[in-house]
Amino acid sequence: MQPRAVLLILLLLILVAVSRLWLWGRLTEGGAPSRVATATMPPPRTATLAETATPSAGPSPPGYRLAGVAVGEPESFVVIEAPNGSANLYRLHDDVPGLGELVRIEAERVVVRGAAAQFELWLTPAATATAAPAGTPKPCSPTRTPPLRPRGGGTTAAPKSSDAPDRPVS
């Protein structure tokens, strides 16, 4: 190879290495944050310390059920079923009709601030379609198979009690 080509390849490799280091510095903590990421991502909606430190003060209203929870970043969602059977999807700080404002979402419960008090709804399964739990099944009684009769007009002796009822008589 010519010395000039080797020098050109070496310069290109150095240029690539320096640009990779520069780009890596921009993407890590030492570099400036990307303007695109901060401009397009809204700040996450989270509960404040005052909202999370307040213990629940009252019982939850009857008929409402926490049917589902999806905890994620930046937002979490819950499904709350009303007494009339309708279920709706809510986010943090949404107003739940008949309950109040949704102030906290956790994996198995939510905290709601109503007009009178703050309370919790816990994740519960839906009611089953069966009226009562099934009991132990009754044992099946064996059915008796009548003895087989030979085909044709011949007469044969009746089967003995030791013969199996499902075997044809010969």
Domain boundary among 98, 122, 146: 122
Residues 34 and 67 in one domain: no
13 found inside a domain: yes
pLDDT of residue 49: 39
Sign, CA dihedral 19-21-24-29, equals: negative
pLDDT digits (tens, 9 = 90+) for 74-115: 889 999 999 898 999 999 999 999 899 999 999 899 999 988
* DSSP state for residue 151 in the 8-state scheme: S
Residues 36 and 61 in one domain: no
150 found inside a domain: no
> Which amino acid, residue 170?
S
Q: Which domain holds residue 9?
A: 3-40
Across the chain, mean pLDDT equals: 74
Phi, psi of 5 (to 5 degrees): -70, -40
95 found inside a domain: yes
Domain count, the chain: 2
130 found inside a domain: no
Non-local (6+) Cβ contacts of 155 within 8 A are none
Residues 69 and 23 in one domain: no
Residues 84 and 58 in one domain: yes
Non-local (6+) Cβ contacts of 67 within 8 A are 79, 80, 81, 87, 123, 124, 126
Residues 13 and 60 in one domain: no
Residues 15 and 76 in one domain: no
Q: Give the DSSP H/E element, type plus range, for residue 51.
A: helix 49-53
| Residue tagged 């309370």 (tokens) | 119
pLDDT of residue 126: 80
**pTM for the whole thing?**
0.44
23 found inside a domain: yes
Residues 54 and 104 in one domain: yes
pLDDT of residue 141: 58
| 155 — pLDDT class (breaks 50, 70, 90) | low
